[in-house]
Amino acid sequence: MKAVIPAAGFGTRFLPATKAQPKEMLPVYDKPTIQYVIEEAVASGIDDILIVTGRNKRSIEDHFDKSFELEQTLQSAGKDDRLKQVREITDLADICYVRQKEQKGLGDAIYCAKKHIGGEAFAVLLGDSITKGPTPCTKQLIDVYEKYGASAISLEEVPKEKVERYGIIKGREVEKDIYKIEKLVEKPLSHQAPSNLAIMGRYVLTPDIFDKIDETEPGVGGEIQLTDALQKLDSIYGVTFEGKTYDIGNRLEWLKTSIEFAMDDDDSKDDLIEYMREIIIENE
Ligand code: UTP
């Protein structure tokens, strides 16, 4: 299966940090966000990845490209660990790029992948969100796609007052944590939301989605919304992901995610706890 990573958005919620650099390249602890995303795809068995880019996104291509000078410098300096890390990034997967000419929304970004994908089902991983769990989120969706032969999307419960930020579903639970979706609404008002199950940025889609996107008129915010196109599919399943999804496009969540990921590193954990204690005492 191939994967598509949309990474062409303007990232307006994170300005000015994203004025000249893509939010997908913002580091979370010690790696750019999009590297975690690609690692998830690879851990799910995918090695053919198309990244949808736009203006100001060159650093994404540079990051996954080979850097001869850097490799040579590290080699001559005997920094073998660093050299290994740098080489691993380039060897992760076959990555190609397509440009979305105008930022007309997520649906439009995915439509740019039509030629590369052909007639097969494919995975979509948003370039500005990271997932963490016992099984990679995309792998869970691939399993549901294979079992039901239909598109599958990741879901997470969100507090009722936050539903206005997400695409929300109405569905019937057909087995534990798997819903047959009856309705999807993009950013509903909280009193109109059909549930508090939100679409979280990972999808496995059947190729008929391209025709559905083509038929979709601009929706919320004047953008071609993927949620509106998903609504037109004959059959679609939602999976409550056994793990957590982090939205890096939101600056507070980006900061919290960096701290959480640093806590997973034994070299940083104790110093970080000490530092946070000091800050808490200073601010009490
Ligand atoms: P978002 O809606 O979070 O991205 O899209 P955005 O528009 O960049 O963010 P804000 O709201 O202005 O801060 C989720 C993913 O889809 C991509 C983004 O790059 C992000 O990874 N995207 C979004 C596109 O590739 N093209 C678009 O036209 C819109």
Please, which residues have CB within 8 angstroms of residue 267's CB and are 6 or more apart in sequence? Answer: none
Phi, psi of 126 (to 5 degrees): -65, 135
Query: Do 257 and 128 touch, CB atoms closer than 8 A?
Result: no
Written as six digits, the tokens of 192 are 């109109």
Written as six digits, the tokens of 272 are 């970080």
Atom of ligand 1 nearest to the CA of 14: 13
Ligand 1 centroid–CA 161 distance in Å is: 22
Ligand 1 centroid–CA 192 distance in Å is: 24
Ligand 1 centroid–CA 68 distance in Å is: 32
Atom of ligand 1 nearest to the CA of 105: 28
Ligand 1 centroid–CA 59 distance in Å is: 17
Going by their DSSP bridges, the two strands 2-6 and 48-53 should be labelled as parallel
* Whole-angstrom distance, CA of residue 166 vs CA of residue 196: 9
Question: Closest residue (by CA) to atom 22 of ligand 1?
Answer: 9
pTM: 0.94
Atom of ligand 1 nearest to the CA of 6: 25
pLDDT tens series, the chain, 284 aa: 999 999 999 999 999 999 999 999 999 999 999 999 999 999 999 989 999 999 878 899 999 989 899 999 999 999 999 999 999 898 888 899 999 999 999 999 999 999 999 999 999 999 999 999 999 999 999 999 999 999 999 999 999 999 998 999 999 999 999 999 999 998 899 999 999 999 999 999 999 999 999 999 998 889 999 999 999 999 999 999 889 999 999 999 999 999 999 999 999 999 999 999 999 999 98
Pocket test for ligand 1, best of 50, 128, 186, 199 (most atoms within 8 A of CB): 128
H-helix or E-strand containing 236?
strand 236-240
Residues with CB under 6 A from ligand 1: 6-14, 24, 52, 100, 103-106, 108-109, 126-128, 249
Ligand 1 centroid–CA 267 distance in Å is: 34
Beta bridge partners of 94: 48
- Helix residue ranges per DSSP H, the chain: 33-43, 58-64, 68-76, 80-91, 106-111, 114-117, 137-148, 209-214, 226-230, 251-263, 266-283
Ligand 1 centroid–CA 105 distance in Å is: 7
Pocket test for ligand 1, best of 111, 126, 247 (most atoms within 8 A of CB): 126
